[in-house]
Amino acid sequence: MKIDSKAFLTDLFFHRFTGIVLEYDEFLVIKTPTNPTFFWGNLLYFKNPPTPYSYLLWKELFNDQFKTMGVEHMTFAWDSITGDVGSPELFLNDGFNLETSIVMVADTIVKPKKINHELQIKLIDNESDWEKVIENHVLCRAEHFQEIPYRKYAAKKIADYRLMIKDQKGFWVGAFLGERLVGDLGIFAQNGLGRFQTVGTHPDYRRQGICSTLVYQTCLFAMEQMQVKEFIMVADPFYHAAKIYESVGFLPKEMQIGLCKFNEELWAT
């Protein structure tokens, strides 16, 4: 299946390394057996958005593909870079959430106006700092996710990222004030495309130029050390971080759309 979305093309960096990608004419099956609670790592990805006839067909396909994996959610996405949602009404009536992200791209990096000169930016390369990364991800989680299941999910995600780093596919970078980790992110690259992962600033240290400084310094590092020519960032269009990324040279180029339904009793507070 031909894929137009740069966001999903770079998602495949991770899916192909840590999971299983099965290709069919009109859709892909993405599986992450090591992390069945990963909503966006266990999904069906279609060429076209849903129609009224997709509801039963997509659910049947999903159940058939994931019935032995212990997956307790359903996720569907499609290759619509313009944000075409199709006809999702039957899914929405069944409790699915329509998830919308903005895909930001940069081929020229700009020094942001707000730089935090107190930060030490360094690669994460020891167990103590990896534990700090997991803690930061737990602190940065969406408010409706319980700590215990989210911590388990985050630890598995980090374990997968560490395997990719060990295989020289990317790096994890932290922003420190003294010994305290106040921000972190991942950067992974293939064929000149660099994809950011899980950019997070400690809740107590936001609006201090930490995120913009971290992203800017990481871009410079990736251009020099990883030969990255174009960077991809996927962000919540309603979250202030998108403006931060714009300050470093990222521009909105695509939309990434999907439907997800999960057992809220297992995750929600």
> pLDDT tens digits, residue range 41-69?
999 999 999 999 999 999 999 999 998 88
C-alpha closest to that of 6 among 80, 86, 92, 99 = 80
Q: Where are the domains of the chain?
A: 6-101+257-267, 120-253
Q: How far is CA 239 from the centre of its chain?
A: 15
> pLDDT tens digits, residue range 233-263?
998 766 667 788 999 999 999 999 999 998 7
Mean pLDDT computed over every residue of the chain: 92
Q: What is the pLDDT of residue 265?
A: 56
Superfamily (CATH H level) for 120-253: Gcn5-related N-acetyltransferase (GNAT) (3.40.630.30)
94-113: average pLDDT: 94
φ/ψ (deg, to 5) at 23: -110, 130
% of the chain beyond a pLDDT of 70: 96
| Cα(253)–Cα(259) distance, integer angstroms | 21
| Cα(65)–Cα(85) distance, integer angstroms | 24
* Lowest model confidence (mean pLDDT) among 83-87, 95-99, 140-144, 252-256: 140-144
Q: What is the pLDDT of residue 268?
A: 47
| Cα(74)–Cα(66) distance, integer angstroms | 9
Question: What is residue 253's three-state secondary structure?
Answer: strand
Q: What is the pLDDT of residue 240?
A: 67
DSSP 40: G
% of the chain beyond a pLDDT of 90: 81
Residue 267 has pLDDT above 80, yes or no: no
> pLDDT tens digits, residue range 142-167?
887 889 889 999 999 999 999 999 99
Q: b vs e for 99-121, b when ≥16 Cβ sit within 10 Å of the residue's Cβ?
A: bebbbbbbeebeebeeebeebeb
Cα separation of the two ends of the chain:
39
| pTM for this entry | 0.91
